[in-house]
Amino acid sequence: MGDCLTSNRSNYHNPITSLPQSFPHHHYEQNMSHSVILVTGGSGLVGKAIEWVIENDPSDRYGKRDGEKWIFLTSKDGDLRDREATKAIFNKYKPTHVIHLAALVGGLFKNMKYKLDFLRENLLINDNVLHTAYEYKVKKVVSCLSTCVFPDKTSYPIDETMVHNGPPHESNFGYAHAKRMIDVQNKAYHEQYGCHFTSVIPTNVFGPYDNYSLEDSHVLPGLTHKCYLAKKNGTPFVVSGTGKPLRQFIYSRDLAKLFIWTLREYQEIDPIILSVGEKDEVSIKDVADAIVKAVGFTGHYSFDTTRADGQFKKTASNEKLMRLLPDFEFTPFDVAIQESVNWFLENYNTVRKGH
Ligand code: NAP
Ligand code: GFB
Protein backbone atom coordinates (compact mmCIF):
# COMPACT_ATOMS: atom_id res chain seq x y z
CA MET A 1 0.00 0.00 0.00
CA GLY A 2 1.41 3.49 -0.96
CA ASP A 3 1.51 6.28 1.61
CA CYS A 4 -1.19 8.92 2.05
CA LEU A 5 -0.17 11.41 -0.54
CA THR A 6 2.08 9.98 -3.22
CA SER A 7 2.28 7.20 -5.75
CA ASN A 8 5.90 7.76 -6.88
CA ARG A 9 8.06 7.91 -3.73
CA SER A 10 11.41 8.51 -5.45
CA ASN A 11 11.57 12.29 -5.76
CA TYR A 12 8.97 13.18 -3.20
CA HIS A 13 9.60 14.84 0.18
CA ASN A 14 6.45 14.40 2.22
CA PRO A 15 6.15 17.63 4.26
CA ILE A 16 3.81 15.94 6.71
CA THR A 17 5.66 12.78 7.76
CA SER A 18 8.84 14.75 8.44
CA LEU A 19 7.06 16.97 10.94
CA PRO A 20 6.57 16.03 14.64
CA GLN A 21 2.94 15.68 15.70
CA SER A 22 2.98 19.20 17.08
CA PHE A 23 5.36 22.05 16.43
CA PRO A 24 5.65 25.84 16.95
CA HIS A 25 3.02 27.66 14.95
CA HIS A 26 4.53 30.11 12.54
CA HIS A 27 1.83 31.13 10.12
CA TYR A 28 1.12 27.92 8.17
CA GLU A 29 -1.42 27.62 5.43
CA GLN A 30 -2.49 24.56 3.52
CA ASN A 31 -2.15 25.43 -0.17
CA MET A 32 -5.82 25.03 -1.09
CA SER A 33 -5.95 26.52 -4.56
CA HIS A 34 -7.74 24.11 -6.89
CA SER A 35 -9.10 22.21 -3.91
CA VAL A 36 -12.30 20.20 -3.59
CA ILE A 37 -13.54 20.29 0.01
CA LEU A 38 -16.04 17.57 0.89
CA VAL A 39 -18.16 18.18 3.99
CA THR A 40 -19.78 14.97 5.22
CA GLY A 41 -22.90 15.68 7.30
CA GLY A 42 -23.23 18.96 5.39
CA SER A 43 -27.01 19.19 5.92
CA GLY A 44 -26.87 19.16 9.72
CA LEU A 45 -26.49 21.90 12.36
CA VAL A 46 -22.71 22.28 11.96
CA GLY A 47 -22.61 21.55 8.20
CA LYS A 48 -25.22 24.22 7.41
CA ALA A 49 -23.29 26.73 9.54
CA ILE A 50 -20.08 26.06 7.58
CA GLU A 51 -22.02 26.48 4.33
CA TRP A 52 -23.46 29.79 5.65
CA VAL A 53 -20.01 31.14 6.61
CA ILE A 54 -18.39 30.03 3.34
CA GLU A 55 -21.16 31.72 1.35
CA ASN A 56 -21.66 34.86 3.48
CA ASP A 57 -18.48 35.72 5.39
CA PRO A 58 -16.68 38.60 3.61
CA SER A 59 -13.32 37.92 5.25
CA ASP A 60 -10.58 36.09 3.37
CA ARG A 61 -9.83 34.12 6.50
CA TYR A 62 -13.21 32.38 6.74
CA GLY A 63 -15.05 33.13 3.50
CA LYS A 64 -14.86 31.11 0.27
CA ARG A 65 -11.59 31.58 -1.66
CA ASP A 66 -10.87 31.39 -5.38
CA GLY A 67 -10.00 27.90 -6.47
CA GLU A 68 -12.07 26.23 -3.74
CA LYS A 69 -15.02 23.98 -4.57
CA TRP A 70 -17.16 23.09 -1.52
CA ILE A 71 -19.45 20.02 -1.55
CA PHE A 72 -21.98 19.69 1.29
CA LEU A 73 -23.23 16.09 1.55
CA THR A 74 -26.49 14.78 2.97
CA SER A 75 -27.25 11.11 3.71
CA LYS A 76 -29.16 11.10 0.42
CA ASP A 77 -25.80 11.30 -1.38
CA GLY A 78 -25.01 7.92 0.18
CA ASP A 79 -25.09 6.02 3.47
CA LEU A 80 -21.59 6.35 4.95
CA ARG A 81 -22.15 3.21 7.04
CA ASP A 82 -21.84 1.42 3.70
CA ARG A 83 -18.30 1.03 2.34
CA GLU A 84 -19.27 0.88 -1.33
CA ALA A 85 -21.56 3.93 -1.01
CA THR A 86 -18.68 5.82 0.64
CA LYS A 87 -16.25 4.88 -2.16
CA ALA A 88 -18.84 5.95 -4.75
CA ILE A 89 -19.06 9.41 -3.16
CA PHE A 90 -15.26 9.85 -3.14
CA ASN A 91 -15.03 8.54 -6.69
CA LYS A 92 -17.68 11.06 -7.79
CA TYR A 93 -16.20 14.14 -6.12
CA LYS A 94 -12.45 13.26 -5.85
CA PRO A 95 -12.00 15.48 -2.77
CA THR A 96 -8.59 16.95 -1.89
CA HIS A 97 -9.79 17.90 1.62
CA VAL A 98 -12.55 16.56 3.90
CA ILE A 99 -14.42 18.02 6.87
CA HIS A 100 -15.98 14.91 8.40
CA LEU A 101 -19.12 15.78 10.41
CA ALA A 102 -21.51 12.93 9.53
CA ALA A 103 -22.56 10.95 12.60
CA LEU A 104 -25.45 9.54 14.57
CA VAL A 105 -26.02 12.47 16.90
CA GLY A 106 -28.47 13.15 19.73
CA GLY A 107 -29.08 14.61 23.17
CA LEU A 108 -28.74 12.96 26.59
CA PHE A 109 -31.98 10.98 26.50
CA LYS A 110 -31.38 9.52 23.01
CA ASN A 111 -27.79 8.61 23.96
CA MET A 112 -28.99 6.83 27.08
CA LYS A 113 -31.46 4.72 25.03
CA TYR A 114 -29.29 3.73 22.04
CA LYS A 115 -25.71 3.32 23.33
CA LEU A 116 -24.93 0.40 20.99
CA ASP A 117 -26.32 2.17 17.88
CA PHE A 118 -24.26 5.27 18.73
CA LEU A 119 -21.16 3.06 19.06
CA ARG A 120 -21.62 0.87 15.97
CA GLU A 121 -22.99 3.42 13.49
CA ASN A 122 -20.29 5.98 14.31
CA LEU A 123 -17.49 3.38 14.23
CA LEU A 124 -18.71 2.25 10.80
CA ILE A 125 -19.10 5.80 9.40
CA ASN A 126 -15.70 6.94 10.69
CA ASP A 127 -13.78 3.89 9.45
CA ASN A 128 -15.36 4.13 5.98
CA VAL A 129 -14.65 7.85 5.63
CA LEU A 130 -11.07 7.76 6.93
CA HIS A 131 -9.99 4.67 5.02
CA THR A 132 -11.55 5.90 1.78
CA ALA A 133 -9.88 9.29 2.32
CA TYR A 134 -6.57 7.43 2.64
CA GLU A 135 -7.21 5.43 -0.53
CA TYR A 136 -8.14 8.61 -2.46
CA LYS A 137 -4.98 10.37 -1.15
CA VAL A 138 -6.94 13.14 0.52
CA LYS A 139 -4.46 15.83 1.67
CA LYS A 140 -6.22 16.62 4.96
CA VAL A 141 -9.22 15.40 6.95
CA VAL A 142 -10.67 17.30 9.92
CA SER A 143 -13.01 15.05 11.95
CA CYS A 144 -15.26 15.98 14.87
CA LEU A 145 -15.23 14.64 18.43
CA SER A 146 -17.17 16.17 21.37
CA THR A 147 -16.27 17.17 24.95
CA CYS A 148 -18.47 14.33 26.20
CA VAL A 149 -15.61 11.97 25.14
CA PHE A 150 -13.45 13.12 28.06
CA PRO A 151 -13.30 11.06 31.26
CA ASP A 152 -16.16 11.75 33.67
CA LYS A 153 -13.91 11.59 36.74
CA THR A 154 -11.19 14.14 35.97
CA SER A 155 -9.58 17.36 37.07
CA TYR A 156 -10.85 20.63 35.61
CA PRO A 157 -10.51 22.36 33.31
CA ILE A 158 -10.27 19.49 30.83
CA ASP A 159 -7.61 19.83 28.10
CA GLU A 160 -6.67 17.97 24.91
CA THR A 161 -4.18 15.65 26.65
CA MET A 162 -6.96 13.99 28.66
CA VAL A 163 -9.00 12.33 25.84
CA HIS A 164 -8.08 8.78 26.82
CA ASN A 165 -7.64 9.21 30.62
CA GLY A 166 -10.40 6.96 31.93
CA PRO A 167 -14.01 6.08 31.15
CA PRO A 168 -16.46 8.68 29.81
CA HIS A 169 -19.79 9.40 31.51
CA GLU A 170 -22.02 6.29 31.45
CA SER A 171 -24.91 8.15 29.76
CA ASN A 172 -23.08 8.34 26.43
CA PHE A 173 -20.25 5.79 26.53
CA GLY A 174 -21.26 4.35 23.15
CA TYR A 175 -20.90 7.64 21.27
CA ALA A 176 -17.89 8.70 23.37
CA HIS A 177 -15.80 5.60 22.65
CA ALA A 178 -16.59 5.70 18.93
CA LYS A 179 -15.49 9.35 18.86
CA ARG A 180 -12.30 8.62 20.87
CA MET A 181 -11.35 6.05 18.23
CA ILE A 182 -11.14 8.83 15.63
CA ASP A 183 -8.12 10.24 17.49
CA VAL A 184 -6.57 6.76 17.58
CA GLN A 185 -7.27 6.25 13.84
CA ASN A 186 -5.75 9.66 12.98
CA LYS A 187 -2.53 8.79 14.80
CA ALA A 188 -2.35 5.35 13.20
CA TYR A 189 -2.85 6.72 9.63
CA HIS A 190 -0.22 9.38 10.34
CA GLU A 191 2.38 6.98 11.72
CA GLN A 192 1.89 4.25 9.11
CA TYR A 193 1.14 6.31 5.98
CA GLY A 194 1.98 9.92 6.85
CA CYS A 195 -1.64 10.98 6.48
CA HIS A 196 -2.69 14.39 7.75
CA PHE A 197 -5.94 13.42 9.49
CA THR A 198 -6.73 15.55 12.53
CA SER A 199 -9.74 16.36 14.72
CA VAL A 200 -11.50 19.06 16.71
CA ILE A 201 -13.41 18.73 20.00
CA PRO A 202 -16.39 21.12 20.22
CA THR A 203 -18.49 21.65 23.35
CA ASN A 204 -22.32 21.64 23.04
CA VAL A 205 -23.31 23.38 19.80
CA PHE A 206 -26.51 25.28 18.95
CA GLY A 207 -27.85 27.45 16.14
CA PRO A 208 -30.03 27.43 12.98
CA TYR A 209 -30.83 24.05 11.33
CA ASP A 210 -30.65 22.23 14.69
CA ASN A 211 -32.72 19.11 15.47
CA TYR A 212 -35.79 20.20 17.51
CA SER A 213 -37.13 16.71 18.35
CA LEU A 214 -38.81 17.00 21.77
CA GLU A 215 -37.20 13.77 23.01
CA ASP A 216 -34.04 13.12 20.96
CA SER A 217 -32.61 16.63 20.62
CA HIS A 218 -29.99 18.44 22.64
CA VAL A 219 -31.08 20.66 25.54
CA LEU A 220 -31.07 24.05 23.79
CA PRO A 221 -33.18 23.17 20.72
CA GLY A 222 -35.33 20.86 22.88
CA LEU A 223 -36.21 23.63 25.34
CA THR A 224 -36.70 26.13 22.50
CA HIS A 225 -39.35 23.85 20.98
CA LYS A 226 -40.98 23.08 24.38
CA CYS A 227 -41.08 26.76 25.35
CA TYR A 228 -42.60 27.71 21.97
CA LEU A 229 -45.36 25.07 22.37
CA ALA A 230 -46.02 26.17 25.99
CA LYS A 231 -46.48 29.78 24.83
CA LYS A 232 -48.62 28.78 21.82
CA ASN A 233 -50.85 26.32 23.71
CA GLY A 234 -50.87 28.02 27.12
CA THR A 235 -49.45 24.82 28.63
CA PRO A 236 -46.69 24.47 31.30
CA PHE A 237 -43.05 24.76 30.21
CA VAL A 238 -41.22 21.88 31.88
CA VAL A 239 -37.44 21.64 31.99
CA SER A 240 -36.03 18.13 32.52
CA GLY A 241 -33.78 17.43 35.49
CA THR A 242 -32.73 19.80 38.28
CA GLY A 243 -31.42 22.60 36.06
CA LYS A 244 -28.12 22.50 37.99
CA PRO A 245 -25.74 20.80 35.50
CA LEU A 246 -23.21 23.11 33.85
CA ARG A 247 -22.38 23.37 30.15
CA GLN A 248 -20.34 25.47 27.71
CA PHE A 249 -22.28 26.27 24.51
CA ILE A 250 -20.69 27.35 21.20
CA TYR A 251 -22.77 29.08 18.48
CA SER A 252 -22.72 26.98 15.29
CA ARG A 253 -21.61 29.94 13.16
CA ASP A 254 -18.63 30.59 15.45
CA LEU A 255 -17.74 26.90 15.37
CA ALA A 256 -18.03 26.97 11.58
CA LYS A 257 -15.33 29.66 11.33
CA LEU A 258 -13.10 27.62 13.63
CA PHE A 259 -13.58 24.52 11.44
CA ILE A 260 -12.53 26.51 8.36
CA TRP A 261 -9.50 27.86 10.25
CA THR A 262 -8.59 24.31 11.35
CA LEU A 263 -8.79 23.05 7.76
CA ARG A 264 -6.65 25.89 6.40
CA GLU A 265 -4.19 26.63 9.20
CA TYR A 266 -4.12 24.04 12.03
CA GLN A 267 -1.09 21.81 11.56
CA GLU A 268 -1.22 19.16 14.27
CA ILE A 269 -2.53 15.58 14.24
CA ASP A 270 -3.44 15.98 17.91
CA PRO A 271 -6.99 17.25 18.53
CA ILE A 272 -7.92 20.80 19.55
CA ILE A 273 -10.85 21.86 21.76
CA LEU A 274 -13.13 24.43 20.07
CA SER A 275 -15.09 26.16 22.82
CA VAL A 276 -15.95 29.36 24.59
CA GLY A 277 -13.94 29.96 27.78
CA GLU A 278 -14.56 28.37 31.20
CA LYS A 279 -16.00 31.66 32.47
CA ASP A 280 -18.84 31.35 29.91
CA GLU A 281 -20.06 28.06 31.40
CA VAL A 282 -23.78 28.29 32.27
CA SER A 283 -26.30 26.13 34.14
CA ILE A 284 -29.25 24.43 32.43
CA LYS A 285 -31.47 26.85 34.42
CA ASP A 286 -29.57 29.79 32.88
CA VAL A 287 -30.26 28.24 29.44
CA ALA A 288 -33.99 27.90 30.24
CA ASP A 289 -34.12 31.53 31.45
CA ALA A 290 -32.41 32.74 28.25
CA ILE A 291 -34.87 30.77 26.08
CA VAL A 292 -37.88 32.06 28.07
CA LYS A 293 -36.64 35.62 27.36
CA ALA A 294 -35.90 34.97 23.66
CA VAL A 295 -39.27 33.25 23.02
CA GLY A 296 -41.12 35.87 25.08
CA PHE A 297 -42.76 33.26 27.32
CA THR A 298 -44.47 34.87 30.32
CA GLY A 299 -45.94 31.76 31.93
CA HIS A 300 -44.60 29.74 34.84
CA TYR A 301 -41.96 27.05 34.27
CA SER A 302 -40.89 24.10 36.41
CA PHE A 303 -38.31 21.32 36.63
CA ASP A 304 -39.12 17.62 36.25
CA THR A 305 -36.52 16.22 38.63
CA THR A 306 -37.59 12.67 37.84
CA ARG A 307 -35.65 13.01 34.58
CA ALA A 308 -31.87 12.50 34.36
CA ASP A 309 -29.33 15.31 34.73
CA GLY A 310 -26.63 13.34 32.92
CA GLN A 311 -23.04 14.47 33.41
CA PHE A 312 -22.88 17.29 35.99
CA LYS A 313 -20.18 19.21 34.09
CA LYS A 314 -17.47 18.81 31.39
CA THR A 315 -15.65 22.12 31.82
CA ALA A 316 -13.14 22.44 28.98
CA SER A 317 -10.16 24.76 28.56
CA ASN A 318 -9.88 26.65 25.26
CA GLU A 319 -6.38 27.84 26.14
CA LYS A 320 -4.77 26.01 23.17
CA LEU A 321 -7.24 27.60 20.72
CA MET A 322 -6.80 31.09 22.16
CA ARG A 323 -3.01 30.68 22.04
CA LEU A 324 -3.25 29.92 18.29
CA LEU A 325 -6.11 32.35 17.48
CA PRO A 326 -5.93 35.02 20.19
CA ASP A 327 -8.22 37.56 18.44
CA PHE A 328 -11.10 35.19 17.78
CA GLU A 329 -14.38 36.73 18.94
CA PHE A 330 -17.28 34.57 20.05
CA THR A 331 -20.88 35.76 19.53
CA PRO A 332 -22.37 36.80 22.92
CA PHE A 333 -24.60 33.98 24.28
CA ASP A 334 -27.85 35.96 24.45
CA VAL A 335 -27.34 37.37 20.93
CA ALA A 336 -26.72 33.84 19.56
CA ILE A 337 -29.76 32.49 21.44
CA GLN A 338 -32.01 35.22 20.03
CA GLU A 339 -30.75 34.62 16.46
CA SER A 340 -31.31 30.85 16.88
CA VAL A 341 -34.81 31.26 18.33
CA ASN A 342 -35.75 33.75 15.57
CA TRP A 343 -34.55 31.26 12.92
CA PHE A 344 -36.60 28.49 14.60
CA LEU A 345 -39.77 30.62 14.71
CA GLU A 346 -39.33 31.77 11.07
CA ASN A 347 -38.78 28.18 9.86
CA TYR A 348 -41.00 26.22 12.26
CA ASN A 349 -42.90 24.42 9.51
CA THR A 350 -39.78 22.95 7.95
CA VAL A 351 -37.39 22.40 10.88
CA ARG A 352 -36.42 18.86 11.98
CA LYS A 353 -38.79 17.76 14.73
CA GLY A 354 -37.83 14.06 14.84
CA HIS A 355 -40.23 11.25 13.97
P1 NAP B 1 -26.86 16.68 12.87
O2 NAP B 1 -27.46 18.04 12.82
O3 NAP B 1 -27.62 15.57 13.47
O4 NAP B 1 -26.40 16.30 11.38
C5 NAP B 1 -25.88 15.02 11.13
C6 NAP B 1 -25.43 14.97 9.68
O7 NAP B 1 -24.88 13.68 9.42
C8 NAP B 1 -26.57 15.19 8.70
O9 NAP B 1 -26.07 15.89 7.59
C10 NAP B 1 -26.94 13.76 8.31
O11 NAP B 1 -27.52 13.69 7.01
C12 NAP B 1 -25.56 13.11 8.30
N13 NAP B 1 -25.60 11.66 8.51
C14 NAP B 1 -26.05 11.01 9.61
N15 NAP B 1 -25.95 9.67 9.45
C16 NAP B 1 -25.42 9.49 8.18
C17 NAP B 1 -25.10 8.34 7.40
N18 NAP B 1 -25.29 7.10 7.87
N19 NAP B 1 -24.60 8.53 6.16
C20 NAP B 1 -24.44 9.78 5.66
N21 NAP B 1 -24.71 10.92 6.35
C22 NAP B 1 -25.21 10.77 7.59
O23 NAP B 1 -25.46 16.73 13.64
P24 NAP B 1 -24.58 18.01 14.10
O25 NAP B 1 -25.08 18.47 15.40
O26 NAP B 1 -24.45 18.97 12.95
O27 NAP B 1 -23.17 17.27 14.35
C28 NAP B 1 -22.11 17.39 13.40
C29 NAP B 1 -20.87 16.80 14.04
O30 NAP B 1 -20.58 17.55 15.24
C31 NAP B 1 -21.04 15.34 14.49
O32 NAP B 1 -19.87 14.62 14.22
C33 NAP B 1 -21.29 15.45 16.00
O34 NAP B 1 -20.86 14.29 16.65
C35 NAP B 1 -20.42 16.65 16.34
N36 NAP B 1 -20.81 17.37 17.57
C37 NAP B 1 -22.07 17.90 17.69
C38 NAP B 1 -22.39 18.59 18.87
C39 NAP B 1 -23.77 19.20 19.10
O40 NAP B 1 -24.01 19.73 20.21
N41 NAP B 1 -24.66 19.16 18.12
C42 NAP B 1 -21.42 18.76 19.89
C43 NAP B 1 -20.15 18.24 19.68
C44 NAP B 1 -19.84 17.55 18.51
P45 NAP B 1 -29.13 13.91 6.83
O46 NAP B 1 -29.37 15.40 7.06
O47 NAP B 1 -29.37 13.52 5.42
O48 NAP B 1 -29.79 13.06 7.85
O1 GFB C 1 -27.71 18.68 25.33
P2 GFB C 1 -28.00 17.57 26.28
O3 GFB C 1 -29.12 16.66 25.90
O4 GFB C 1 -26.76 16.59 26.47
O5 GFB C 1 -28.21 18.28 27.74
P6 GFB C 1 -25.44 16.55 27.36
C7 GFB C 1 -28.68 17.58 28.73
C8 GFB C 1 -28.87 18.39 30.01
O9 GFB C 1 -29.96 19.28 29.81
C10 GFB C 1 -29.25 17.45 31.12
C11 GFB C 1 -31.04 18.92 30.69
O12 GFB C 1 -28.82 17.97 32.35
C13 GFB C 1 -30.79 17.45 31.05
O14 GFB C 1 -31.40 17.13 32.27
N15 GFB C 1 -32.31 19.14 29.99
C16 GFB C 1 -33.34 19.87 30.47
C17 GFB C 1 -32.65 18.67 28.78
N18 GFB C 1 -34.38 19.88 29.61
C19 GFB C 1 -33.98 19.15 28.53
C20 GFB C 1 -34.61 18.80 27.29
O21 GFB C 1 -35.74 19.16 26.98
N22 GFB C 1 -33.87 18.04 26.41
C23 GFB C 1 -32.57 17.61 26.71
N24 GFB C 1 -31.90 16.91 25.80
N25 GFB C 1 -31.95 17.92 27.88
C26 GFB C 1 -24.68 15.22 25.23
C27 GFB C 1 -24.12 13.86 24.89
O28 GFB C 1 -24.65 15.35 26.62
O29 GFB C 1 -23.86 16.27 24.71
C30 GFB C 1 -24.01 13.75 23.39
O31 GFB C 1 -25.03 12.88 25.39
C32 GFB C 1 -23.23 14.91 22.79
O33 GFB C 1 -23.36 12.54 23.08
C34 GFB C 1 -23.82 16.22 23.29
O35 GFB C 1 -21.92 14.87 23.17
C36 GFB C 1 -23.02 17.39 22.82
O37 GFB C 1 -24.68 17.81 27.25
O38 GFB C 1 -25.77 16.07 28.72
Q: What is the 3-state secondary structure (H, E, C) of 50-99?
A: HHHHHHHCCCCCCCCCCCEEEEECCHHHCCCCCHHHHHHHHHHHCCCEEE
Has residue 26 got a pLDDT over 70? no
pLDDT for residue 202:
98
Q: How far apart are CA 247 and CA 245, in angstroms?
A: 7
Identify the pLDDT of residue 15.
Answer: 42
Report whether pLDDT(25) > 90: no
Share of residues in the chain with pLDDT > 70 (%): 91
Kindly state the average pLDDT of the residues 36-61: 96
The stretch 67-83 carries a mean pLDDT of 98
Q: Across the chain, what does the average pLDDT equal? A: 93
Atom 22, ligand 2: which residue's CA is nearest? 219
Query: Nearest ligand to the C-alpha of residue 248?
Result: 2
Mean pLDDT within 191-195? 98
Q: Domains of the chain by range and CATH?
A: 35-347 (3.40.50.720)
Distance 111 CA to ligand 1 centre (A): 14
Q: Name the more confident of 268 and 14.
A: 268
What is the pLDDT confidence band of residue 1, given thresholds at 50, 70 and 90?
A: very low
- Report the pLDDT value the prediction gives residue 196, as an integer from 0 to 100: 98
Task: Render pLDDT for 213-246 as a digit per residue (tens, 0 to 9).
Answer: 999 999 999 999 999 999 999 999 999 999 999 9
Q: Which ligand is nearest to the CA of 115?
A: 2
pLDDT of residue 4: 63
Task: Report the nearest atom of ligand 2 relative to the CA of 202.
Answer: 36
Residue 14, pLDDT above cutoff 90:
no
Chain centroid offset of residue 211 CA: 14
User: Can 175 be counted among the known catalytic residues?
Assistant: yes
Judged against a pLDDT cut of 50, whether residue 52 lies above it is answered with yes
User: Which ligand 1 atom sits closest to the C-alpha of 79?
Assistant: 19
Compute the chain's Rg from CA coordinates. 20
This model's pTM is above 0.85: yes
Please determine, for residue 56, whether its predicted confidence score (pLDDT) is greater than 80. Answer: yes
For 307-352, write each residue's pLDDT tens digit. Answer: 999 999 999 999 999 999 999 999 999 999 999 999 999 999 999 9
The mean per-residue pLDDT over the stretch 111-117 comes to: 98
Lining ligand 1 with CB less than 6 A are 41-47, 74-76, 79-81, 101-105, 125, 144, 146, 202, 204-205, 211, 218
pLDDT digits (tens, 9 = 90+) for 247-287: 999 999 999 999 999 999 999 999 999 999 999 999 999 99
* CA dist., res. 227 & res. 37, Å (int): 38
Q: Please state whether the peptide bond connecting residue 157 to the residue before it is cis, i.e. omega within 30 degrees of 0.
A: yes
Nearest CA to ligand 2 atom 28: 108
pLDDT given at position 7: 44
